[in-house]
Chain A
């Protein structure tokens, strides 16, 4: 793992595509503008607004510990560390339409967790209730946990690249059957795990291809996913049909070894779809004339006693269909490009630094 490669994998992550979402044709204009346009950094004068409560979290039909995070928004441009204000020691519960109630426990830094056995149920609807320390009461609109169809097939196509660090790349697609008779909305994502040999890498001083490394003390997987990607899909124009060639991710051809990835298909409610649709439009702004003017995005949380209090974020509920898969990269005739890096092992071992980017727990399907 060197820095170049890190940058590269981030680039890859950023290339994961949405799918024909509502014929997002306005983006076509962008290309035309690209021909004769340039983009530069800009420092606008912005008036900061008061911090607003942000709800970030969702539940699914799979058992597990679910986390709801309560933060406050941060001025768009600020000189402080962002998102360090949390709603602490609130009382957070999830109730369902069958009278069930789950209390979430506070874990610090704005995080509220369910117990590890909590699981939603398709067909039920769920409400998130938040009582802040000062007594302000927030509630989400009931969020229906809709069923999700299975992923039928996963397949890849290979393309040789003419330039760059890589010989080629694989595009991974999947097909699924739209649920019959209902208006459905979907979201998908992927998580890639790689068993790492080294838990510590430092460049040696001799040259830039030379690294000092330390082995991991136990099994340690690096985690990669498409951070900040929004892959959503509505069946509006495809009702009850087979949805094919959904592009999930692109895999670098940097080794002949199988590439392990978990692919998840999630159900969304119409209101969640609309929320993410507008979010995706706004964060993908290209500045072109064909951009829609940005608007205030309304989430599904309200202050019960004061509807004018703007609450940000979304509390979601989804059913999940997950497929762990090893993508075969051995069928390509030409070998991948080799690397000239030299790793010199130090006679120590380093513990796996568990967090969002590393885990010591064996992934499902590994």
Chain B
């Protein structure tokens, strides 16, 4: 392993030397300065580069153009009668920068930077990608007034989940653990607070969110479905400021500013929840005695070493607690005086940006992400804590090289080391009669090396050619088992134990993942794109519940557990209308998935020392079509999306125990063919903004019984197939209104109110249909049908949030 690493590094240095020798090159930065309110262009606005004190003015149409060296720049944009703005920008290739200025008299709190060309969606080779700015996310109506970065993604085409209050997204027919969720490059293993009702990202610090669901750049690897890339904003380099908000369930505060002017700036943001008073209002005893809460802290530091070099530190810590008292537990079949759920994340990264040559930039980082969950009960005779953890440590380097005017190269390497502690059970009291148990930790080394070239072949035709080489080594120390051939894999069929010492390679895999996209401009505002990519995944979350739980364990690829892979082809037509006011697209995709995981009937995954006896790997296929219309300008903005898709799985092992649905194709838990969403935002004037979103989707499949029988006085439903029935359709409308009471007055303290109403027509959407026969004594006499519908958030949820800045 060390040898191979050396080899990679050697390649690296050779390339670096080569590139440094390359000719320096200026890049073109162009863009527009406009009035934030009216969107009118501003002529003769000044743009000054702080480092060189050179500048440029906008022309009569508000446009400017300047040649600059690649790298990190701070520029000040000013215009008479408007507030000056400082913009931090990293220029890696020629790009468009649109800057909105606010009139001096009516300052608004937020800064909106659109660092993309307005017709970027037509010209670039990327597709299957949606980008949401924090500005548009924060306008969406939200549940309990908590702006939710992850939930907003649900309104995009091709994205579904299994229901309200669940963690995770199902993107183009893939499982929730197949998404790489990144915050400034740090992978997150859990994206939800309080079982998924709120997202782990503090909205105050997020700059934008990009979802790659097809045409995934070669830079990203390790997951087979999608990349959700959350980028934090840069701390303010000019002045200190505080902003935050208070809502019904949580409050947040953000402090940012320059620590050393021009050199070091920082931001720190915290969020804390207080839902318990809401529980106390309940009439149900088991709810009254429940307590829950979360907090998270995000910090980002930026240090400018020189004009050509910059260091960033990002840190994140979060904690969730959920405590149930004995009374409530007894209603859920557990007898303990109380029980507690806890999960935590502690993540950090240090990134170094360096201008190596005139046209070569390096981003190198060291990352650590730790996710831990614990379940505990303090009941003396049965006191226990049950913990599991996953740790990710990575070093990586990404290069961008403008090799020629029509060639932009990305290449790099990432070395990731995973460690999991799948389960540790400890008696937590001297009197506890629980025996300690530890499932041994697992280690794995993942290496990715990639290169991709964005090649503009002609004015009309461009292509992105890329590939990623990924390698996985499951490493000791571990004991692995051999099973009898020709028999289902069970504890009883173990024939032999193979012991591996610390650092021994247990099993290794290597794969080439091609990533290819082509774009053909078919008209001035339209293009056709097509793409193929292959992705490999070596870690997965094992969960046989409908939605994954924060406590579900992560499993590495090892003996008997194979890496998952996906091949995806997609194609699309993109067209903009009315001077890029409307962005439209239609995409189709087909995905073939290998080694997708499902589980044997009735197995227990928790504290299972041999998960390979419980897991089954099979095939999956998903296909669909997505339509997206986005109105980007004007007083009414928003988007419409519609998706038709199908996802099926097939698990056909050699033995009946290793088959699901008799080895035939079956609908996945998250197969929701029709999906429609509409998000609208209407800015009436400077004071009031109205927003609404509507979602509709086919209900997810569920398993229903065909008959029932009676054994030992117990009515038992008999289920014969999987997922053969369908929940009623889901639809919901949310609205919100944001009021800025004093938009014109210049106060140091600025506040605004957001009123949100979730599920305004109080639809009782089916979350699940279930069959419960327990204790239905009357059923002994009556021909009663016990089928129930569970609705989560099946009523109207109004909320109010106050946001401030000073």
Contact = CB atoms under 8 A, between A and B. Distances in A.
B793 A36 contact: yes
Given A13-B775, A245-B381, A289-B545, A282 B716 contact: yes
Contact of A75 (B379, B707, B768, B772): B707
A contact patch SS: loop
A36 B796 CA distance: 11
Interface string B316-353: 00000010100010111111100101000000000000
A51 interface: yes
A299 B324 CA distance: 35
A52 B707 contact: yes
A46 B546 CA distance: 21
A228 B793 contact: no
Contacts of B381: 244-245
A38 B719 contact: no
B632 interface: no
B427 to A, nearest CB: 9
Contacts of A34: 284, 286-287
Which residue, A31, A49, A51, has most C-beta atoms of chain B within 10 A?
Answer: A31
Interface in B507-565: 544-547, 549, 551
Interface string A2-24: 00000000100111011111111
Contacts of B330: 15, 17
Contacts of A38: 764, 790-791, 794-795
A82 interface: yes
B710 A56 contact: yes
A296 B339 contact: no
Given A227-B775, A297-B602, A241 B435 contact: yes
A150 interface: no
Interface stretch (B460-468, B698-706, B745-753): B698-706
A31 B328 contact: yes
B787 A43 contact: yes
Contacts of A312: 709, 711, 716, 718
Nearest to B292: A32
A234 B636 CA distance: 62
B433 A295 contact: no
B165 A42 contact: no
Contact of B166 (A23, A284, A289, A292): A289
Nearest to A35: B287
Nearest to A69: B710
Interface string B760-790: 0000101111111111110010010101111
A14 B334 contact: no
Contacts of B111: none
B194 A48 contact: no
A18 B488 CA distance: 31
B768 A77 contact: no
Interface in A200-246: 227-230, 237-239, 241-245
Interface stretch (A92-100, A129-137, A256-264, A273-281): A273-281
B772 A285 contact: yes
Interface in B698-751: 702-720, 722-725
A17 B788 contact: no
Contact of A237 (B328, B435, B714, B768): B435
A337 interface: no
B195 A39 contact: no
B606 A20 contact: no
A204 to B, nearest CB: 25
Contacts of B771: 76, 282, 285, 294
Nearest to B775: A14
Contact of B722 (A13, A80, A293): A293
A20 B334 contact: yes
Interface in A272-315: 274, 277-279, 281-299, 310, 312-314
Interface string B372-401: 000100010110101000000000000000
A159 to B, nearest CB: 10
B290 interface: yes
A284 B333 contact: yes
A293 B669 contact: yes
Contacts of A15: 330
B82 interface: no
A284 B717 CA distance: 11
B326 to A, nearest CB: 10
B499 interface: no
A28 B775 contact: no
Contacts of A54: 709-711
Contacts of B334: 17-18, 20, 24, 27-28
A31 B290 contact: yes
B309 to A, nearest CB: 47
Contacts of A42: 766, 769, 787-789
B670 to A, nearest CB: 11
Contacts of B322: 28, 32
Interface string A52-87: 101110100000000000010111111111110000
Contact of B332 (A27, A56, A287): A27
B768 A82 contact: no
B725 to A, nearest CB: 6
B547 A290 contact: yes
B107 to A, nearest CB: 38
A133 to B, nearest CB: 20
A25 B606 contact: yes
Contacts of B788: 39-42, 287
Contacts of A242: 433
Contacts of B795: 38
Nearest to A284: B774
A78 B783 CA distance: 7
B162 interface: yes
B115 interface: no
B434 interface: yes
Contact of A23 (B335, B375, B719, B790): B375
Contacts of A73: 707-709, 718
Contact of A33 (B165, B425, B725, B787): B165
B305 interface: no
A32 B425 CA distance: 24
Contacts of A23: 375, 384, 386, 606-607
B710 A290 contact: no
A294 B602 CA distance: 8
B209 to A, nearest CB: 24
Nearest to B722: A293
Nearest to B196: A289
A363 B607 CA distance: 43
Contacts of B775: 10, 13-14, 227-229
Contacts of A288: 768, 790
Most A-side CB within 10 Å, residue of B435, B708, B720, B787: B708
Contact of A287 (B601, B722, B723, B768): B768
Contacts of B339: 28
28 contacts: A17-B334, A18-B335, A20-B334, A23-B386, A25-B341, A25-B551, A27-B333, A28-B324, A28-B334, A28-B375, A31-B332, A52-B709, A52-B718, A56-B709, A56-B711, A73-B707, A74-B708, A76-B708, A82-B708, A83-B710, A227-B713, A228-B713, A279-B714, A279-B716, A285-B770, A289-B767, A294-B719, A297-B716
Given A244-B433, A283-B715, A287-B772, 8 more contacts: A13-B775, A22-B604, A25-B606, A27-B334, A28-B334, A28-B341, A42-B766, A295-B601
9 pairs of A and B residues whose beta carbons are closest in the complex: A287-B790, A49-B706, A289-B547, A287-B770, A295-B601, A42-B789, A241-B433, A14-B775, A27-B332
Interface of A: 10, 13-15, 17-49, 51-52, 54-56, 58, 71, 73-83, 227-230, 237-239, 241-245, 247, 274, 277-279, 281-299, 310, 312-314
